[in-house]
Amino acid sequence: MFGTKSFRQQFPIFQHHPNLVYLDSAATTQKPKMVIDGITNFYQKENANIHRGIYDLAAQTTQKYESVRQKVAEFIGAKHQSEIVYTSGTTASINLVAHSFLLPRLEQGDEVLVSAMEHHANLIPWQMACKQKGAHLRVIPIDQAGNIDLAAYKKMLSAKVKMVAVVHISNTLATINPIEAMIEMAHQKGIPILIDGAQSTAHSPIDVASLDCDFFTFSGHKIFGPTGIGVLYGKATHLAAMSPYQFGGDMIRTVTYQDATYAPAPQKFEAGTTNIAGVIGLGHAIDFLQQFDKKAIALFVKELGAYAREKLLSLNDLTIIGNAQHKTGIVSFVLNNVHPHDVATFLGTANIAIRAGHHCTQPLMDFYEIPATSRASFSIYNNRAEIDFLVDEIKGIQSFFAV
Amino acid sequence: MNDKLKQLYKTVILKHNNQPFHYEKKETATHQLEAYNPLCGDRFKLFVEVEDEVIQSIHFHGFGCAISKASTSVLAKNLEGKTLAQAKILCEEFGQVVSPDSTAENEKEEFAAFAAAKDFPGRLTCATLSWEALNSFLAEND
C-alpha cells in the first residue's frame, strides 16, 4: 500500500504537483493532509497561548500541548513524559545538551567522541564546547564502505571521555549505526551518550528506554510534521541536573528583581512562547505514523533503497558513496564527468527532486575526497517506477554531457 | 530534458567546462583570490597577475559545477589584457546579463549564454561566483 497512487493521495503536495518525483525526504518529508488540517484547525478554532490562561481556550490548548508530550513519550518509548523537551529541532536539542549538560562537566584535557559521519548539527556544538574548555574532540573512524570501526571506538572509550554523540542513521551514507552496542560500550565505562535520531525516527522503531541512551534527538519535519519543532529526550536524572539554556517567561518558579528559581524539567528548557502549533502538528504526525507498523515502514524504505542501488549500479561511470552493511533508503552517488549540482538541475527540469551538495557533512566529503554528492532519499510515498524514471533521466544526462 | 537547459549548457558552458581557459595553478601570480560558496561547496582559486593596472593573465583551479567552472573560464578569457577599470565595467556587464531584473542583451556570445541561468534561480550564484570574487578584489584596489 505504501507508494501506491491511493496512498499518495494523503499528501496534498502530489495533487498540486502530479508529476513530482520527490526523492528528498532525508531533507524534509512531505506532509499528510491530516497534519496540515490539524494545524489549520488549531489556528482556526483553538488558538490561545498555553499555561496560565484561565479561560477555556487557553486551558484546552494547554491540555493538548501537554498531551502531545505524552504521545511523544509513548512514540519513542520514554518512561515519563517529563523526559520530553520541545525544541525547535534536532540542532537546538543537541545545542541544549552541549551547553547545559556537557559544558559544566567538561574540563581541560577531557575528550568528546563523535563519529566521522556526523551531520554538522552533531559536530559543531561539541566542537565549540571542546574549544571553550580546552578539551579534545575525537573522531570515531569509519571504513571506506561507511561502517563505524567498533574496535577503534572501544579503544577510544577512555576515562578522559566525558560524552559520546553519534548519529543513528547517516543522512549522507545511509549507514544504520549499531547504536545498541555503542550505547552499551559507552555505559560500561560510565560515559553518557547522545543519539541523533533525525534520520531514523520516521522509519525505524525507536525505544529509548530499552536503548538506554542518555539523550535522543529528532525533528518534527523529518517525520511528516511541521518545521520548527523538535524533541530532546533526556533521562530524568540528567534533565533535573541541567541548568536552563534560555531564560524568560514560562520557565520560572519564582522571580524577584534580583533572583529567580526555575520550573522543573521539561518546562525549564522551554522559555517563552514555544511553537504551539508546531507541537499540535507534531502530535498529528505521530498519529499519522502510528497507523502503520514501524517495521513495515523500515522494510519498505530499505527495499526502495536497495532497488535504487541495484539500478544505479547498472550505469557506467557512476559510484555510490556509502555501502555499509546496514543501510536505509538513502543513496548518495557521483557521476564521473558531471557535477552533482548539474545533475540536480537537469533532474529538476524532469520534476525529480534530489539533493546535491555536501549534505552538511563536509568532513565526510573530505574523507571520501569528493566535493559533493547527489543524493536520492526515499519515503513511504515513493515507488519503484519513480526510481526507474530517475535512472533513465540520469542516463540521459550522462549522454548529454558525454558529447 | 528541458530545451532551455540544453540551450544554456550546449552553447558555451559545456565547451568551457570541458576545456577551461587557463585551468592551472599559477602560484607566482601577484594576487590569489578565493571564490567560495559555502552553501554548495564550489571553490575556485583565481590567480590574477596584475602589472601597471593591467590584468596580464588570470588562471584558475578548483572544483565546482559546470556553470561555475565555465563562468570562471569565461572570466579568465575575457579579462586578460584589460585594465582594472575596464575589468570593472566587464564585471558589471556580466552582472547585468544574469540579473533577473535586467533584460539587457549582451553582444558577447560567451556572456549572453549565461542569461539562460535566469530561468534556474538556484543556479544563479554558480554563474556569478567568481565574478563576485573578482569584483570585490577590484573594489578593494580602487
Which of the following CATH numbers is that of domain A35-290: 3.10.180.10, 3.40.50.300, 3.30.565.10, 3.40.640.10?
3.40.640.10
pLDDT of B141: 78
Name the least confident of A1-10, A38-47, A202-211, B103-112: B103-112
Residue B105, min C-alpha distance to chain A (Å): 24
The pLDDT of residue B5 is above 80: no
- pLDDT band at A51, cuts 50/70/90? confident
Which residue on chain B is closest to A340 by alpha carbon?
B65
pLDDT of B7: 75
For range A191-216, the mean pLDDT: 97
Please state the domain extents for chain A.
5-23+295-402, 35-290
Cα–Cα distance, A237 to B112 (Å, whole number): 64
Residue identified by cell 528548557 is A269
Cα–Cα distance, A161 to B45 (Å, whole number): 40
Extract the runs of DSSP E, i.e. beta strands, from A176-316. 193-196, 215-219, 230-234, 252-255, 260-262
B66 touches chain A (CB under 8 A): yes
**Closest Cβ–Cβ partner in B1, B41, B122 for A346:** B1
B124 touches chain A (CB under 8 A): no
| Packing angle of the helix pair B66-79, B124-140 (nearest 10 deg) | 40
Count CB neighbours of A47 within 10 A. 14
**Closest Cβ–Cβ partner in B41, B66, B120 for A357:** B41
Q: What is the pLDDT of residues B13-71, one digit of tens each?
A: 899 998 999 999 999 999 999 999 888 888 999 999 999 999 999 999 998 999 999 99
Q: Nearest-CA neighbor of A390 among A20, A17, A13?
A: A20
All residues of chain B having their beta carbon less than 8 Å from the beta carbon of residue A392 are: none
- Residues of chain A with pLDDT > 70, as a percent, come to 100
For residue B110, what is the domain's CATH number?
Answer: 3.90.1010.10
Q: Nearest-CA neighbor of A329 among A297, A295, A357, A302?
A: A302
**Alpha-carbon distance values, A44 to A47, A48, A56, A67, B96 (Å):** 7, 11, 15, 20, 46
Q: What is the pLDDT of residues A86-125, one digit of tens each?
A: 999 999 999 999 999 999 999 999 999 999 999 999 999 9
Does the distance separating the beta carbons of A346 and B39 come in below 8 Å? no
- Average of per-residue pLDDT values in chain A: 96
Of all residues in chain B, what percent are helix, strand and coil, respectively (each to 5)? 55, 20, 30
- Average of per-residue pLDDT values in chain B: 89
The pLDDT of residue B120 is above 90: no
Does the distance separating the beta carbons of A357 and B126 come in below 8 Å? no
**Which of A113-117, B6-10, B99-103, B136-140 ranks highest by mean pLDDT?**
A113-117
The pLDDT of residue B8 is above 80: no
Which residue is catalytic, options A360, A365, A370, A397? A360
All residues of chain B having their beta carbon less than 8 Å from the beta carbon of residue A371 are: 41-43, 63-64
All residues of chain A having their beta carbon less than 8 Å from the beta carbon of residue B123 are: 341, 345
What lies within 8 Å, CB to CB, of A155 at 6+ separation is none
Does the distance separating the beta carbons of B14 and A401 come in below 8 Å? yes
**Closest Cβ–Cβ partner in B5, B41, B69 for A345:** B5
Known catalytic residue: A213? no
| The three cell numbers locating residue A84 | 520530553
- Residues of chain B with pLDDT > 70, as a percent, come to 98
For range A159-183, the mean pLDDT: 98
Does the distance separating the beta carbons of B126 and A371 come in below 8 Å? no
pTM, rounded to two decimals: 0.93
pLDDT of B38: 85
Which residue on chain A is closest to B44 by alpha carbon?
A371
pLDDT of B107: 75
pLDDT of B1: 59
pLDDT of A59: 92
Q: What is the CATH number of domain A5-23+295-402?
A: 3.90.1150.10
Q: Nearest-CA neighbor of B137 among B99, B82, B91?
A: B91
What b/e string do you get for A295-307 counting C-beta neighbours within 10 Å, with b at 16 or more?
Answer: eebbebbbebbeb
pLDDT of A49: 92
- pLDDT band at B128, cuts 50/70/90? very high
Domain of residue B130 covers: 3-140
**Chain A residues whose C-beta sits inside 8 Å of any chain B C-beta:** 338-342, 345-346, 348-350, 356-358, 362, 365, 371-372, 393, 396-397, 400-401, 403
Q: Nearest-CA neighbor of A397 among B14, B40, B11, B44?
A: B14
Return the sign of the alpha-carbon dihedral for residues A384, A26, B41, A333: negative
Does the distance separating the beta carbons of A339 and B65 come in below 8 Å? yes
What lies within 8 Å, CB to CB, of A9 at 6+ separation is A15
B5 touches chain A (CB under 8 A): yes
The pLDDT of residue A403 is above 80: no
All residues of chain A having their beta carbon less than 8 Å from the beta carbon of residue B43 are: 371
Number of independent structural domains in chain B: 1
What's the N-to-C CA distance of chain B in angstroms? 45
Tell me the Cα Rg of chain B. Answer: 14
Residue identified by cell 496540515 is A36
